[in-house]
């Protein structure tokens, strides 16, 4: 009996040792699986560009958001949206994709209204500007075609190009000579992609020159109007409309999460392109449709925009006033007339320090770090709004002048 007990204890200890070995091996395997991830995060930490989520600080003056016209904070617009939504008998959600149960007369009514407002025959609503660009570029350009995109185009344009079966190449920012050279080597149907207003630099695309080149090479121009929707054109119908180029542009992507103060996006083009995306654009086909509330928000924001021009007038005055108050020298390419103002502060760590100093003075201004922008071109991105007062604008400019002089 004693021998059997000793044997049992010995076997239990052996089993425990084996379990420890198995557990250690599992932990080592898990560590190896995450080692690459941990190393990449550590490198971001060392380079001072590790991203983290922060809750927006209350009490700071907004010089950071894309709410250029203040519509995201407009109680008047909010009331109009809620009033209109209360009059609609609809479920809380769309219940499915547009091709299944998510389509409605309201959705098609809003799309027709948007197409008319932006001067295109037709268009298609997407859940965001990112998915709209993904939806267009991943489906419309075909195998054997060529996409040429400005090197400073937003990540969603580049990601859409990566998903496309077409070849894609960047051309130097606003460099028509480089675009010309690449057009001469392009094959198949040629697409030229750019942003009307570049999100990190605030400068305009050379749309007239791009359209002239496109005509020579029979290329199709696609313009992302994310940061020009609502603040260019007679009623906020965009930079393409302001320059009378709608008949020369193949497609425009308008987004609503910036100056229009809500959410969603619209690809405006010909009826055949829209029909094609309904059939072949995976980000449209395989996603849940926006709810009735989102369609109504888009519709009411569009109507508000066309009926109220006072915010746009105030915005333009504020842009000019900030430029007159800022005395620190900047490269000429960053002296834009858009609401996006750039203050170059070389180095990630320095850009974050200056941003914190500005915040300490009561102004919400964010640092933009590499690799979001090129190394050596780290910056503060200042967004001017219609609701910023002259005292606030002058105070921010004086703080920047003092810290960076």
Please give the pLDDT value at position 4. 63
Does 114 reside within a domain? yes
Q: Using the 3D structure, point to which of 274, 307, 340 is the last residue of a domain.
A: 307
Co-location of 333 and 229 in the same domain? no
Task: For residues 289 and 141, state if they share a domain.
Answer: yes
Instruction: Among 6-15, 19-28, 133-142, name the one with the lowest average pLDDT.
Output: 6-15
pTM of the model: 0.89
- Check which CATH number belongs to the domain holding 345 and give it: 3.90.1150.10
pLDDT tens per residue, range 90-122: 999 999 999 999 999 999 999 999 999 999 999
Pair (374, 247) in one structural domain: no
HEC string of the chain equals CHHHHHHHHHHHHHHHHHHHHHHHHHHHHHHHHHHHHHHHHHHHHHCCCCCCCCCCCCCCEECCCCCCCCHHHCHHHHHHHHHHHHCCCCCCCCCCCCCCCCCCHHHHHHHHHHHHHCCCCEEEEECCHHHHHHHHHCCCCCCCCEEEEECCCCHHHHHHHHHCCCEEEEECCCCHHHHHHHHHHCCCCEEEEEECECCCCCCECCHHHHHHHHHHHCCEEEEECCCCCCCCCCCCCCHHHHCCCHHHCCEEEEECCCCCCCCCEEEEECHHHHHHHHHHCHHHHCCCCCCHHHHHHHHHHHHHHHHCCHHHHHHHHHHHHHHHHCCCCCCHHHCCCCCEEEEECCCHHHHHHHHHHHHHCCEECEEECCCCCCCCCCEEEEECCCCCCHHHHHHHHHHHHHHHC
Task: Tell me how many domains the chain contains.
Answer: 2
Q: Mean pLDDT across the stretch 10-29?
A: 65
- Tens-digit pLDDT profile for residues 295-315: 999 999 999 998 988 999 999
Give the C-alpha separation, 187 to 192, whole Å. 12
Residues 265 and 338 in one domain: no
Residue 154 domain flag: yes
Q: How far apart are CA 365 and CA 362, in angstroms?
A: 9
What percent of the chain lies above the pLDDT cut of 90? 80
Write down the pLDDT at residue 45.
Answer: 86
Task: Calculate the average pLDDT of the chain.
Answer: 92
378 band by pLDDT with thresholds 50, 70 and 90: very high
- pLDDT tens digits, 166-186: 999 999 999 999 999 999 999
Q: Judge whether 31 lies within some domain.
A: no
pLDDT at 54 over 90: no
- Residues 228 and 119 occupy one common structural domain: yes
> Does residue 297 sit in the same domain as residue 321?
no
Which CATH number characterizes residue 119's domain? 3.40.640.10
**347: Cβ contacts below 8 Å, ≥ 6 apart:** 48, 378
Domain of residue 101, residue span: 88-307
Q: Are residues 105 and 246 in the same domain?
A: yes
């Amino acid at each position: 009996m004693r021998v059997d007990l000793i044997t049992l204890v010995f076997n239990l200890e052996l089993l425990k040792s084996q379990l420890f070995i198995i557990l250690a091996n599992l932990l080592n395997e898990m560590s190896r699986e995450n080692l690459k991830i941990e190393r990449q995060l550590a490198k971001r930490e060392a380079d001072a560009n590790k991203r983290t989520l922060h809750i927006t600080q209350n009490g700071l003056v907004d010089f950071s958001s894309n709410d250029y016209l203040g519509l995201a904070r407009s109680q008047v617009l909010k009331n109009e949206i809620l009033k209109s939504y209360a009059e609609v008998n609809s479920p809380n959600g769309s219940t499915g994709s547009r091709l299944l149960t998510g389509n409605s007369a309201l959705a098609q009514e809003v799309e027709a209204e948007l197409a008319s407002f932006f001067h295109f025959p037709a268009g298609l609503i997407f859940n965001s500007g990112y998915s709209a660009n993904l939806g267009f570029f991943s489906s419309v350009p075909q195998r054997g075609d060529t996409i040429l995109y400005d090197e400073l185009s937003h990540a969603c344009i580049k990601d859409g190009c990566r998903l496309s079966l077409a070849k894609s190449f960047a051309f130097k920012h606003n460099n028509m000579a480089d675009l010309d050279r690449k057009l001469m080597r392009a094959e198949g149907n040629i697409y030229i992609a750019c942003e009307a207003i570049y999100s990190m630099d605030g400068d305009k695309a050379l749309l007239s020159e791009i359209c002239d080149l496109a005509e020579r090479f029979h290329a199709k121009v696609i313009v992302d109007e994310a940061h020009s929707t609502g603040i260019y054109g007679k009623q906020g119908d965009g930079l393409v409309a302001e320059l009378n180029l709608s008949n020369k542009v193949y497609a425009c992507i308008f987004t609503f999460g910036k100056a229009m103060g809500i959410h969603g996006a619209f690809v405006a083009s010909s009826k055949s392109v829209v029909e094609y995306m309904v059939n072949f654009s995976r980000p449209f086909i395989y996603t849940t449709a926006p709810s009735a509330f989102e369609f109504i928000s888009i519709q009411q924001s569009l109507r508000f925009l066309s009926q109220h021009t006072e915010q746009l007038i105030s915005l333009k005055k504020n842009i000019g006033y900030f430029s007159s108050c800022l005395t620190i020298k900047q490269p000429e390419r960053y002296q834009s007339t858009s609401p996006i103002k750039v203050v170059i502060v070389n180095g990630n760590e320095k850009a974050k320090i200056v941003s914190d100093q500005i915040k300490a003075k009561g102004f919400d201004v964010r640092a933009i770090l590499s690799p979001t922008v090129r190394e050596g071109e780290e910056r503060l991105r200042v967004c001017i709004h219609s609701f910023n007062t002259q005292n606030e604008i002058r105070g921010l400019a004086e703080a920047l002048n003092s810290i960076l002089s």
